Amino acid sequence: VLSGCGVYDGTEIHEASAVLVHLSRGGAEVHMYAPDVPQMHVIDHSKGQPAEAESRNVLVESARIARGKIASLAKLTTADHDAVIFPGGFGAAKNLSTFAVDGKDCKVNGEVERVLKDFHKAGKPIGLCCISPVLAAKVLSGAEVTVGHEEEEGGKWPYAGTAGAIKELGAKHCVKEVTISFPAHVDTKNKVVTTPAFMCETALHHIFDGIGAMVKNVLKLTGK
């Protein structure tokens, strides 16, 4: 499930690509979806500032990553899939929810909430990385997730404050590294698998490997 195209206002492209590579390597058949809604705003990524008076659609932008093969999130049905994965990027906190603005008081997009609840009720695994675990923390009561560390540690974990918000949402936060040795947390009860990814300032290959561990555990939980 994508949230646009670009780290500051949509899906983090490297994370989405890593998820797709690891799913391909795992032999999974992949279908991509995004909500057909306007973005919260558009960011000029060369300046890191909002592009005033410009608007974009989340589904249309997500189609860039999907190479055009994408459908509206409203068409995603649990019965047709074994698992669901949400890459990160600020789009998860801006377009899939209002977390970027409202924090613990955020609202989750109706279709996103439906998908999370339906997969959870069906006992099918849910994978999330980077900032997207806040979606599960908000929607799935008592879920265990990780966004990495709970202290900034000199800038290595610049978004560490997210862990506190996750606790305020009623979820359990588990401290995890981004590296391959301990890169993913598996909540076996809720079948929720999370990994920090770009919540950490580190080398790209560590992000890639950590996402690989998340995907591997999601596929394992499908039992196929």
* 176: in domain: yes
Average pLDDT along the chain? 96
- CATH code at 33? 3.40.50.880
pLDDT of res. 181:
66
In a domain, 1, yes or no: no
Confirm if 95 and 40 have CB atoms less than 8 A apart: yes
The single residue listed with the structure tokens 């080398």 is: 203
pLDDT at 178: 86
Residue among 5, 106, 129, 130 flagged as catalytic: 130
Which H helix or E strand runs over 13?
Answer: helix 13-25
Q: Is residue 63 part of a domain?
A: yes
> What pLDDT is recorded for position 180?
64
Whether 169 maps to a domain, the answer reads: yes
Mean pLDDT, range 12-35, rounded to an integer: 98
Rounded Cα gap, residues 109 and 138, in angstroms = 11
Q: What is the pLDDT of residues 135-192, one digit of tens each?
A: 999 999 999 999 999 999 999 999 999 999 999 999 999 999 887 666 799 999 999 9
- In this prediction, residue 182 carries a pLDDT of 64
Over 70: is that where the pLDDT of 90 sits? yes
- How far CA 107 is from CA of 137, 166, 178, in Å, comes to 12, 14, 28
Domain that holds residue 204: 13-222
pLDDT band at 123 (very low <50, low <70, confident <90, very high): very high
Count: domains in the chain? 1
Q: What is the CA radius of gyration of the chain?
A: 16
- pTM of structure: 0.97
* Cβ burial, residue 141 (10 Å; 0-12/13-18/19+): exposed
**Residue 130: active-site member:** yes
Q: What is the pLDDT of residues 27-50, one digit of tens each?
A: 999 999 999 999 999 999 999 999
How many whole angstroms separate alpha carbon 167 and alpha carbon 145?
10
Q: What is the 3-state secondary structure (H, E, C) of 122-158?
A: CCCCEEEECCCHHHHHHHCCCCEEEEECCCCCCCCCC
Instruction: Report which of 223, 13, 19 is spatially closest to residue 124, judged by C-alpha positions.
Output: 223
